[in-house]
Structure formats: C-alpha cells, structure tokens
Structure 1
Amino acid sequence: MQYHQLGKSDLRISEISYGCMSLGSDDADNARLVQQAIDGGVNFFDTADLYDHGQNEITLGKALEGKRQNVIIATKAGNQWRPDGSGWDWNPRREYILACVEESLRRLNTDYIDLYQLHGGTLEDPTDETISAFETLVQQGKIRYYGISSIRPNVIRTFVERSNIVSVMMQYSLLDRRPEESCFPLLEQHNIGVLVRGAVAKGLLVNKAPEPYLNYDAADVALAAAAVQRISTASRGPAATALRYVLQQSAVTTAVVGMRTAQQVQDALAAASATPLTATEMQQLQQVLPVNRYEQHR
C-alpha cells in the first residue's frame, strides 16, 4: 500500500481508503470488513453524520475500538435531518456545525476527528461563518484539519481562496472527468489533496450492465467499460484498472472506495499492488470518449 501526504496536513493516508457509507447494519460484519481493510494497509476511513441517521458513525466507532492511534477518521457535517425523518436540509451555519461535531465525536467514540468536512456547499452559504466554525474546532483540538466535499468548482474556488482546507472530496472516474478541467490544476497549485469517490462509476466500469451516466448514453458507457476490460490483465482486473486510472492523476491523494463484502475489499486492495497503467494505456482510456465538462456551478 502506498501512502500520500494529504495536502498541507501531516496526515499520510493510504491510496485506497474506506468509504464507510457502504457498510451495512451488522456491527460484527462491519468490524470484520474494517479489520480486513486495515490488514491490507488501509488507514483512512470516511463517514458522515448523514449516513444512516448517524448509525454509520456508531458502527465505525465500534469497528475501530482499540485501533484509534493507527487510523485516520474523516466525517462530514452540514446536512440536518428533519425531526420527522422525511429528509434533510442544508445547514452550514456556525452554531449547527459546532453542535454536530459533539455528536459525531460521541458516536465515533473518539475525542478528536482527523478530517472534518463540509458535506456540500452553495454560493449562497455564509461561507465565512462556516470557515469560522471549522477554525474554532481546530483551535479547540476537536478536529485536526478540515476540508469540503463538493463537485462545484465555484464553491471549491471560494474555499481555496478564503480558508485553510487541506482536501476536497469529489466524484471522479473515467466516466466523469470534469474535475480535470477546472479543479485539479487549482487544487494542485494550492497543495490541497483530492479524495476521489465514484472511481468505478457505480460499477458501470467494472461489472454492471451499461446505463446512461451523466452526459453519456448507455452505448458510451459500454465503450468505456470495454476499454477498461481490454487493458485489464489477470493480475490487474477491471476494478483495479479503473482505480489505477484515478490514482495515477497527480492531483489525487486517495480513492475512497465503498466496500460491502470481503470480495470487494479484496478487489480494492488489489488495486494498491496492481501494475501501474502505462502512458499508452492511460491514453487509450482517455481517448475512448469525448471528455465531459462542468456545465453548471462553474
């Protein structure tokens, strides 16, 4: 397993990390999966207070009991469940974030969070107020660093200019190359790490039947999946190939992978030790479809 410095922080995180939203409701099963990942070198676990009404943080906290010093925990805040449970509303206010961290600390059974992330963002947000909350939490020692989870270039630019974020989590894959145009160069320039989610595009690049994805139709998706299959090998399967494509982008620090079964953990870990894609193979993948770009939120 390779480890990379996360932006300007002193966190060294595994290039394959665990997207805990995929965990189920059985604490014992989750603990086994988390331990399998740790045994394979994974040290970064990403969750959010939104997932399963906070139960996801609780099950992760249980799975990491006794292992806290050897792992890096990331969680997120900003989405507020309605009292009746019918959905959630966006709330990036300072007082809400300051209250949320206390609940996340309790559920995770820890006294600090390594990376606390704003779980979204719009240009209408009281951004300075949000940043103030995160800075206060750093000063209090409740969080070590903060970042945002967003695919909106204009929101990302605002935080780059006005805050001390060390990371941005965003969707990126062979079927969603939008960050290459407007986000990756900016974040590299400012030494801000990229946490990639969706690297296998909901499984469409690996084993799922083709269906429309973003601006691509099912036929386009099939072409991309076939290209991944074509350059895969016995020792580097389609999942590893799709992940290597993402990990070999210089702006990317880690791929956050959802793993629900032991086989999925094994497949994701295989990407860490897989043979890197050659320059020719990278080019073959990039040329299979016209690159997509952000049309909104620029």
Structure 2
Amino acid sequence: MLYHPLGKSALHVSEIAFGGMSLKGAEASDIALLHQALDSGINFFDTADLYDQGANETLFGKAFKDRRDQVVLATKVGNQLRPDGSGWDWNPRKDYILESVHHSLRRLQTDYIDLYQLHGGTLDDPTDETIAAFEQLQQEGKIRYYGISSIRPDVIRTWVERAHLVSVMMQYSLLDRRPEESTLSLLEANNIGVLARGSVAKGLLAGKPATEYLDYSPEAVQTVQAAVKAASGQQRSMGQTAMRYVLQHPAITSLVVGIRTTQQLEEALGAASAPALTPAAMQDLAAVLPDRFYESHR
C-alpha cells in the first residue's frame, strides 16, 4: 500500500480509502471488516453525519476508539436531518457547522477530526461564512484540516480561491471523465488532494450488466466494459483495471471505495497492488468514448 500526503496537510493517507456509506450489516461484522482494512494497510476512513442518520459515525467510533492514533478519520457536514425523519435539508451556515461538529466528535469518540468536509455546496451558499466555521474549528483544535465534497467546477473553483482547503472529493471514473477537462489540473496545480469516489461506476466497470449511466446508453457502457475487460487480461479484474485508471491520474491522492464485504475489501486492496496500466493502455481506455464536459455549474 502506498501512502500520499493529502494536499498541503501533514496527513499521509493510504491510496485506498475505506468509504463507510455502504456498511449496513451487523455491528460486529462491520467492525471486524474495518479492523481487517486497517490491518491490511488502509489508514484512511471516510464517513458522514448523514450516513444512516449518524449511526455510521457511531460505528467508526466504536471500531477505532482504541486505535485512534492509527487512523485518519474523515467525516462530512452540511445535510441537516429533519426532526420528523422525512429527509434532510442543505445547511452550510456557520452556526449549524459549529453545532454539528460536537455531535460528530461524540459519535466518533474522539477529540478531533482529521478531515472535516462540506458535504456538497452551491454558489448560493454563504461561502465565506462556511469557510469561517471551518477555520474556527481548526483554530480550536476540533478539526485538523478541512475540504469539500463536490463535483461542481464553479463551486470547487470558488473554494480554491477563497479557502485553505486540503482536499476535494469528487466522482471520477472511466464512465465519468468530466473532471479531466479542468478540475483535476486546477487542484493539482494548487496542491489540493483529490479523493476520487465512484471509480467502478456503481459496479458497471466491475462486471455488472450494462445499463444507462449518466448520459451514456447501455450500448456505450458495453463498449467501455469491453475495453476494460481487454485491458485487464490475466493481471487484474475489471474492477481493478477501472480503479487503476483513476489511481494513476497524477492529481489523485486516494480512491474512496465503498466497501461492505470482505470480497470488496480484497478487490480494492488488489487494485493497489495490481500491475500499473501502461501509458498506452491509459490512452486507449480514455479514447473509447468521446470526451464529456460538465454542462452546468461551470
């Protein structure tokens, strides 16, 4: 397992990160899986206060309370659950963030959060107020660093210009190469770590039957699947080839993989140790479909 500095921070994170959103099993087996991931070299674990209405953070807290110094914990804020349980509303206000962090700290059973992320964002947000909340929490020692989770180029650009963020989490895969247009190069130039999610496109790049994805038809998805399978050969599974394509982009710091089973964990670990794609293979995979660009939020 390789470890990379996360942007300009002092954090060194494994190139495979454990995404906790998929965990929905029995507590004991989920904790055992988290421990297995840590023992296998993954030190970066990502959750959010929204996941399972906070229960996901509670699970992480129970799993790592005696091994806190061995893990980099990331969580997210900004989606406020409604009291009646009917859903959530977007809330990037300073007072809400300053209140929410205490609940996350309690559930995570820790005195500090390594990476606190805004779980979304729009140009209509009170961005300077939101940034002020993160800066205050950093000064108070409740968080070490902060970032955002967003696919919107205009929002990302605004945060790069105004904030001292160290990371951006975004969707990126062979079926969603939109970040390659400008966002990845912008973040790389500013030494901001990219945390890539969705690298196997809901399993479509790991062998699931082809279906529509974004604006791609099932036939287009099948074309990409065939190219991934051909590039895999005997060296990697399809999913590992898809993950390697993302991992090998120079802007990527870590691949956030949603893991629910031991098999999925082994698949992700295998991507880290699998043979690298050659530059020619990378180019061939990128050329399978025409480039797509973000049509909004530019």
TM-score category of the 2 structures, normalised to the smaller one: over 0.9
Say if 1:215 and 1:292, in contact at 8 Å, map to a contact too.
no
After TM superposition, give the deviation of residue 233 of structure 1 in Å: 3.1
Would you say how many aligned residue pairs link Structure 1 and Structure 2? 298
Q: Deviations over 1:85-138 (max 9, x none)?
A: 111000000000000000000000000000000000000000000000000000
- 1-structure distance, mates of 2:27, 2:289: 42
Q: Distance in 2 between matches of 1:5 and 1:247?
A: 14
The ranges of structure 1 where at least 4 consecutive aligned residues each deviate by more than 3 angstroms after the TM superposition are none
Whether the 8 Å contact between 1:27 and 1:63 is mirrored in structure 2 is no
Classify the secondary structure of the residue corresponding to 1:240: helix
Match of 1:15 in 2: 15
Q: State the TM-score, normalizing by the size of structure 2.
A: 0.99
1:234 and 1:132 map into 2 onto residues whose CA distance is 51
1:32 aligns with 32
Q: State the Cα distance separating 1:65 from its structure 2 match.
A: 2.3
Partner in structure 1 of residue 121 of structure 2? 121
Q: What per-residue deviation string (whole Å, max 9, x for no partner) do you get for residues 219-253 of structure 1?
A: 01111111111111333111111110000000000
Structure 1 range deviating more: 68-77 or 285-294: 285-294
CA distance, structure 1, for counterparts of residue 64 and residue 111 of structure 2: 13
Deviations 1:127-185 (A, max 9, x none): 00000000000000000000000000000011000000000000000000001112011
Q: Who is 1:70 aligned against?
A: 70
**CA RMSD of superposed structures (Å):** 0.7
Letter in 1 for 2:281: E
Shift of 1:287: 1.0
Query: In the alignment, which residue of structure 2 is the partner of 1:221?
Result: 221
2:108 alignment counterpart: 108
Task: Tell me what 2:44 maps to.
Answer: 44
What residue number does 1:197 align with? 197
> What runs of 5+ residues in structure 1 fail to find an aligned partner?
none
Could you tell which deviates more after superposition, 230-239 or 178-187? 230-239
Structure 1 residue 34: Cα displacement: 0.7
1:90 paired to 2:90: yes
Question: For 1:222 and 1:134, how far apart are their aligned partners in 2?
Answer: 43
**CA contact 1:27–1:62 (8 Å) conserved in 2:** no
What residue in structure 1 maps to residue 277 of structure 2?
Answer: 277
The normalised TM-score by structure 1 is 0.99
- Distance in 2 of aligned mates of 1:108 and 1:292: 39
Q: How far is the alpha carbon of 1:25 from its aligned partner?
A: 4.0
SS at 1:256 equivalent:
strand
Give, in whole Å, the separation in 1 of the partners of 2:113 and 2:167.
14
Query: CA offset at residue 32 of structure 1?
Result: 1.2
Distance 1:182 1:154 in 2: 11
CA shift, 1:283, in A, is 1.2
Amino acid at match of 2:18: Y
Does structure 1 conserve the Cα–Cα contact (< 8 Å) formed by 2:115 and 2:143?
A: yes
User: 2:294 and 2:113 mapped to 1: Cα distance?
Assistant: 32
Percent identity over the alignment? 63
The alignment status of 1:257 with 2:257, answered yes or no, reads yes
Structure 2: tracts of 5 or more residues without a match: none
